[in-house]
């Protein structure tokens, strides 16, 4: 039978009194016409166009402060458009897509300008060829993004007018956005003695960093593929999600560093930590820039969602230029700087690990020839810390096959049956497993050292 609820809604009930069908629910939103939408849109859009129009009037270098303001206003406008469902409306879809695109490149520009501004703090005493090359290309990238923003903002403004909206006066703002850096800094005089932390945090951060560096290297972020080649591997190998995972991992490391290491006694005594912090921050900002660029590419340049607005935006933003920005700048330098930090991380790890010494037998029957020497280097490389092989009074780097071959020759000449390894206790434990299996001379690798099989397969 049908009953009427207290709210006046009809519900159909079965014989047991329970509703047989879901109750009728009123729509959550009322429909607004395209013409009626113009008035609230004009009000909301004016603050954005007031500041964004500056880049049209003066297409010169703008600062992180400028793009921070653009980001703030464009996000408000984008949320407003989403609230009204503009992206799903034929009249306002193109305008909505333009505003989303402006936001993508505004965030990318902000990250890059911020990085340029802070670069002198990261490497204050190290202005090498890499720094000069990077900064030169970074300024070119900012200029490229500026011109993209000019095109997108100009088209958004034109589209607003085509739909009969008045963007209001584009009067100048009194702030100066032309300086990309800040000339003045307060003195660094905080008392570091009042803070204390454990060396384990430094080791943990360095170990995680090294794993990320190896991953980016294996994934070939520094390979600089051509636009055509990069287009072929987006999104299968490179995509927004994968870039975001790397970016978030680095951001987590930076947060851990700032919480447990920064302005502590351990940082003061170990300047390598400050260099590692720089090598965390630079690829992190570059990957965030890359994430917004690749988001734009996947959204507007792929063939999954072809629409008229996509075609119009592709006429403003050149597809190959965006791919070049990713390949030759964002990906390339994020890889370059994370690999710059890899030996720094390994030095920190070697300094903070628990060290030991172990006596192990020489491989039988031929001693340290190529295969056992190579497997030893794979064990040492897996842990990333310094390990040495001692023959008499000489120490040989266990990361180097050539060093191990030379050490093996000396040991054979002296008729030695055992040698001494010194270094990270964890590496030594794995070397003992390797020695217990005669350095895998029969090529049967124990499950505890499965990473040898993985590394060997990658190399071959």
Q: Which of 188, 339, 206 is nearest to 266 (CA)?
A: 206
Same domain, yes or no: 437 and 390: yes
Residues 6+ apart with CB under 8 A from 392: 410, 414
pLDDT at 2: 43
Which of the listed residues 350, 378, 409 is the one where a domain comes to its end?
350
CATH code, domain carrying 383: 3.30.1340.10
395-402: Cβ within 8 A, 24+ apart: 395/422, 398/423, 401/370, 401/373, 401/374, 401/377
Give strand ranges (E) for 23-101.
none
Q: Do both 346 and 206 map to the same domain?
A: yes
Last residue of a domain, one of 350, 377, 396: 350
Cis peptide before 365 (omega within 30 of 0): yes
359 shares a domain with 338: no
**Which among 418, 411, 356 is positioned nearest to 386, based on CA atoms?**
356
Kindly list the distances between the CA atom of residue 5 and the CA atoms of 2, 10, 14, 15, 23, in Å, as whole numbers in the listed order.
10, 6, 15, 17, 10
Residue 1 lies in a domain: no
Q: What is the three-class DSSP state of 165?
A: coil
Q: What torsion do the CA atoms of 362, 368, 371, 375 make, to the nearest 10 degrees?
A: 60
Q: Are residues 210 and 344 in the same domain?
A: yes
Residues 336 and 379 in one domain: no
Q: What is the pLDDT of residue 9?
A: 43
- Same domain for 413 and 455, yes or no, is yes
Question: Does 389 reside within a domain?
Answer: yes
Both tokens assigned to 228: 């055509």
**317 to each of 18, 160, 226, 314, how far by Cα in Å?**
58, 19, 18, 5
Please indicate, yes or no, whether residues 210 and 326 belong to a single structural domain of this protein: yes
Co-location of 214 and 295 in the same domain: yes
Alpha-carbon distances, residue 456 vs 151, 369, 428, 451 (angstroms): 50, 17, 20, 8
User: What pLDDT does residue 227 have?
Assistant: 94
Which of 324, 350, 376 marks a domain boundary?
350
pLDDT at 130: 82
Domain count along the chain: 3
Q: What is the pLDDT of residue 140?
A: 94
Please report whether residue 187 resides in a domain. no
Angle at 80 between CA 74 and CA 81, to 5 degrees: 90
pLDDT profile of the chain (460 residues), mean per 10: 43 52 62 91 91 77 81 94 93 94 94 90 71 92 92 94 83 54 62 62 94 95 95 93 96 95 88 94 97 90 69 90 96 96 94 92 92 94 92 93 94 92 94 94 86 71
Judge whether 12 lies within some domain: no
Domain that holds residue 281: 195-350
Rounded (10°) angle between helices 271-300 and 308-316: 130
Assess if residue 27 is contained within a domain: no
| 147 and 205 share one domain | no
- The reply to whether 178 falls in a domain is no
**Same domain flag for 295 and 322:** yes
> Which residue matches tokens 């560093």?
257
Evaluate whether residue 179 is within a structural domain: no
pLDDT of residue 293: 94
The answer on 329 and 205 residing in a single domain is yes
135 and 203 within one domain: no
């Amino acid at each position: 039978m049908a009953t009427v609820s207290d709210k006046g809604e009809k519900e159909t009930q079965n014989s047991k009194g329970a509703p047989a069908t879901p109750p009728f629910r009123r729509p959550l939103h009322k429909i607004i016409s395209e013409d009626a939408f113009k008035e609230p849109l004009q009000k909301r859009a004016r603050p954005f166009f007031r500041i964004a129009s500056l880049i049209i009037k003066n297409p010169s270098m703008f600062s992180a402060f400028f793009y921070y303001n653009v980001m703030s206003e464009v996000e408000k406008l984008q949320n407003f458009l989403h609230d009204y469902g503009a992206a799903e409306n034929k009249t306002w879809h193109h305008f909505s897509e333009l505003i989303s695109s402006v936001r993508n490149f505004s965030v990318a520009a902000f990250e890059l300008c911020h990085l340029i501004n802070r670069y002198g703090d990261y490497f204050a005493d190290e202005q090498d060829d890499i720094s000069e090359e990077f900064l030169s290309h970074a300024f070119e990238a900012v200029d490229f993004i500026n011109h993209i923003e000019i095109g997108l903002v100009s088209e958004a403004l034109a589209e607003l007018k085509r739909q009969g909206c008045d963007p209001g006066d584009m009067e100048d703002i009194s702030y100066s956005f032309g300086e990309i850096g800040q000339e003045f800094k307060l003195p660094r005089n905080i008392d570091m003695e009042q803070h204390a932390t454990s060396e384990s945090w430094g080791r943990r951060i360095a170990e995680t960093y090294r794993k990320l560096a190896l991953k980016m290297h294996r994934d070939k972020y520094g390979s600089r593929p051509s636009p055509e080649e990069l287009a072929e591997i987006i999104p299968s190998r490179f995509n927004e999600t994968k870039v975001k995972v790397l970016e978030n991992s680095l951001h987590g490391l930076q947060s851990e560093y700032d919480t447990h290491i920064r302005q502590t006694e351990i940082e003061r005594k170990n300047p390598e930590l400050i260099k590692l912090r720089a090598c965390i921050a630079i690829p992190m900002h570059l990957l965030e820039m890359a994430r917004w660029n690749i988001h734009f590419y996947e959204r507007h340049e792929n063939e999954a969602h072809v629409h008229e607005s996509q075609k119009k935006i592709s006429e403003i933003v050149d597809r190959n230029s965006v791919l070049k920005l990713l390949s030759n700048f964002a990906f390339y330098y994020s890889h370059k700087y994370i690999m710059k930090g890899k030996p720094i991380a390994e030095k920190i790890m070697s300094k903070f690990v628990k060290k030991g010494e172990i006596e192990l037998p020489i491989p039988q029957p031929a001693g340290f020839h190529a295969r056992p020497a190579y497997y030893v280097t794979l064990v040492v490389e897996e842990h990333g810390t310094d390990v040495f092989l001692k023959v008499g009074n000489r120490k040989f780097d266990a990361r180097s096959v050539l060093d191990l071959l030379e050490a093996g020759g000396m040991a054979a000449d002296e008729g030695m049956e055992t040698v001494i390894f010194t270094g990270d206790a964890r590496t030594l434990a794995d070397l003992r497993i390797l020695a217990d299996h005669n350095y895998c001379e029969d090529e049967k690798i124990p499950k505890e050292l499965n990473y040898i099989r993985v590394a060997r397969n990658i190399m071959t």
